[in-house]
């Protein structure tokens, strides 16, 4: 087996970026002798390693134009205003000048080895990324093995996240809502006793911020909310797990009740605020997996949120402030509980602070 110098450089770079910097390959149609890697959480969201021979400046400009068109697609898919790219050329002609490139979002370097000073200035740890070289076959097998192991870990995380799970919490919540509805049919006075009321909250009925989410004003109200909970609850419980799902649901219900109590005088009931919180969780999750779920967010989740808020403002007796409070509570509490493999400890701490400051601020304004 024969490996050219360019092959060896490419494999060393890919080995480092995949196993140490947590980049992963992007499939780019029509790209030959070049590798695209992405990690949208890094300063360089995209790294391109190009082994094609660039023989003059005109070809370099065309190569850059083609690269930027691919970057535009990634930006649209990831909701990114900017997307910085490192363009690594490893087969550049002697008469080609990188000084002709003038783009603040594209850094282009030409290197002659994986330990070239130009790449070490950006990623100094590359020099510590050791691969048991041996002969060409051993080198190829060792690099491939390490990359496959790193990829397998990511695949296991994706399988754990997106794999089918037994849904329990969602069905329990639906059953509780249905049970409470039939109790109110037998005793309508329960709604005024447990619904969210600013006056009664200020008198000490703090339990209302949660109990209000289990009461509904009619069968249609109940059916619409339970259908929404069934659809969205299934997704969030599958993606985040039962515990995180319940934390988001109840913190969203609390946020919904508090903002409703702050901005409305009427009695507020219904699970829709908590359900909007689950939509907020879906937005937060989709943002972290936006390279894969970007189109779903753009064409499904976000339009549903906007449409429901618009309907809420145009139809009387719809508590849109509860919806907004739940949506914000869902986003903040999702940051607090985090997404495995995506949210680090610092983000979860910040999410916890933001969530409880938000709730405390609403309580403060409500009691002021």
- For residues 24 and 154, the answer to whether their CB atoms sit within 8 Å is yes
Let me know: does 277 contact 329? Beta carbons within 8 Å.
Answer: yes
Boundary (domain end) residue, out of 161, 193, 209: 161
The total number of structural domains that make up the chain: 2
Active-site option among 272, 288, 333, 334: 272
Beta bridge partners of 89: 50, 110
Are 96 and 197 part of one and the same domain? no
In this structure, the answer to whether residues 189 and 331 fall within a common structural domain is: yes
| Single residue among 161, 179, 199 that ends a domain in this structure | 161
First-to-last alpha carbon distance for the chain, in angstroms, is 77
By C-alpha distance, which of 120, 162, 133 is closest to 342?
A: 162
* 88: enclosing H helix or E strand: strand 85-89
Q: What is the pLDDT of residue 336?
A: 97
Written as six digits, the tokens of 133 are 């070289």
Token couple for 308 = 């429901």
Question: What is the reported pTM?
Answer: 0.80
Asked about 272 being catalytic, the answer comes back as yes
Mean pLDDT by 10 residues, the chain (368 residues): 74 88 78 83 90 89 87 77 88 84 87 88 86 65 76 79 90 97 95 95 96 95 94 94 97 97 92 96 87 67 83 80 96 95 89 97 93
Range of the domain at 71: 5-161
The helix (H) or strand (E) run that includes residue 38 is strand 34-38
CATH code, domain with 274: 1.20.1540.10
Element (H, E) at 46: strand 46-50
Same domain? For 239 and 280 the reply is yes
Please check whether residues 80 and 196 belong to one and the same domain. no
Let me know whether 135 and 22 are in one domain.
yes
Domain end residue (candidates: 132, 161, 190): 161
Please indicate whether residue 288 is annotated as part of the active site. Answer: no
pLDDT on residue 312:
78
pLDDT on residue 341: 81
Q: Are residues 192 and 251 in the same domain?
A: yes
Give the count of beta carbons closer than 10 Å to the beta carbon of residue 14.
21
Residue 204: half-sphere exposure toward Cβ, Cα within 13 Å: 0
**Which of 15, 216, 288, 323 is the catalytic position?**
323
Whether residues 209 and 143 fall in one domain: no
64 and 103 co-located in one domain: yes
């Amino acid at each position: 087996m024969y490996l050219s110098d360019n092959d060896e450089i490419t494999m060393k770079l890919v080995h480092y970026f995949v196993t140490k910097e947590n980049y992963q390959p992007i499939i780019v149609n029509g790209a030959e002798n070049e590798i695209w890697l992405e990690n949208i959480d890094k300063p360089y969201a995209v790294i391109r390693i190009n082994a094609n021979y660039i023989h003059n400046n005109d070809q370099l400009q065309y190569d850059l134009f083609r690269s930027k068109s691919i970057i535009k697609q990634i930006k649209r898919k990831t909701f990114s205003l900017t997307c910085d790219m490192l363009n690594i050329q490893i087969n550049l002609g002697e008469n080609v000048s990188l000084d002709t490139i003038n783009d603040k979002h594209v850094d282009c370097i030409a290197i002659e080895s994986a330990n070239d000073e130009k790449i070490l200035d950006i990623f100094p740890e590359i020099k510590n990324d050791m691969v048991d070289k041996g002969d060409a076959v051993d080198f190829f097998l060792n690099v491939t093995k390490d990359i496959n192991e790193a990829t397998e870990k990511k695949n296991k995380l994706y399988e754990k996240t997106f794999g089918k799970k037994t849904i329990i919490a969602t069905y329990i919540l639906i059953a509780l809502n249905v049970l409470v509805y039939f109790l109110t049919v037998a005793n309508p006075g329960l709604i005024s006793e447990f619904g969210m009321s600013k006056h009664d909250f200020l008198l000490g009925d703090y339990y209302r911020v949660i109990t209000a989410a289990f009461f509904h004003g009619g069968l249609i109200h109940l059916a619409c909310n339970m259908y929404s909970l069934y659809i969205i609850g299934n997704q969030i419980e599958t993606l985040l797990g039962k515990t995180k799902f319940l934390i988001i649901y109840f913190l969203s219900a609390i946020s919904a009740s508090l903002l409703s109590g702050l901005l409305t005088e009427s009695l507020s009931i219904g699970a829709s605020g908590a359900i909007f919180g689950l939509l907020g969780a879906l937005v937060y999750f989709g943002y972290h997996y936006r390279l894969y779920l970007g189109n779903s967010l753009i064409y499904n989740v976000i339009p549903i949120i906007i449409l429901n808020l618009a309907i809420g403002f145009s139809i009387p007796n719809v508590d849109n402030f509860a919806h907004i409070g739940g949506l914000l509570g869902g986003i903040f509490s999702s940051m607090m509980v985090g997404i495995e493999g995506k949210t680090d400890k610092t983000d979860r701490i910040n999410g916890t602070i933001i969530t409880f400051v938000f709730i405390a601020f609403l309580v403060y304004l409500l009691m002021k």
